[in-house]
Amino acid sequence: MSFLVEENPAKHRFEILVDDALAGFTAYLPRGEVLVFTHTEVDERFQGMGVGAALIRGTLDQLRERGGRVVPKCPFMAAFIDRHPDYADLVVREP
């Protein structure tokens, strides 16, 4: 199973493709260099397979590469960051 995480700026979200099928997304509101993440959704066909975690990890890794920051209003993303404190440096309070 191959995962690909890519940004879809037109829809203000990062999407995860599993074997070329859209498996989920995490939506954001842009605030300059800060993205306020509001919702994460994984298609029920892909739940319980680590797709959500791969989506958040891929999103945060891409944001780190480009110097972005996040406000994790989405409970799923917030919980992921709590479990993986090496991403805590990307978190800011809402601007």
How many domains does the structure of the chain reveal?
Answer: 1
Residue 95 lies in a domain: no
Residue 15 has pLDDT above 90, yes or no: yes
3-state secondary structure of 94: coil
**Closest Cα partner for 25 from 76, 92, 69, 83?**
76
Give 37-74 pLDDT, tens digit per residue. 999 999 999 999 999 999 999 999 999 999 999 999 99
Residue 64 lies in a domain: yes
Residue 95 has pLDDT above 60, yes or no: no
The CATH code of the domain that includes 30 is: 3.40.630.30
Residue 36 lies in a domain: yes
Range(s) of the domain holding residue 27: 3-90
Residue 30 has pLDDT above 60, yes or no: yes
pLDDT value at position 27?
A: 98
Of the chain, the end-to-end C-alpha distance in Å amounts to: 38
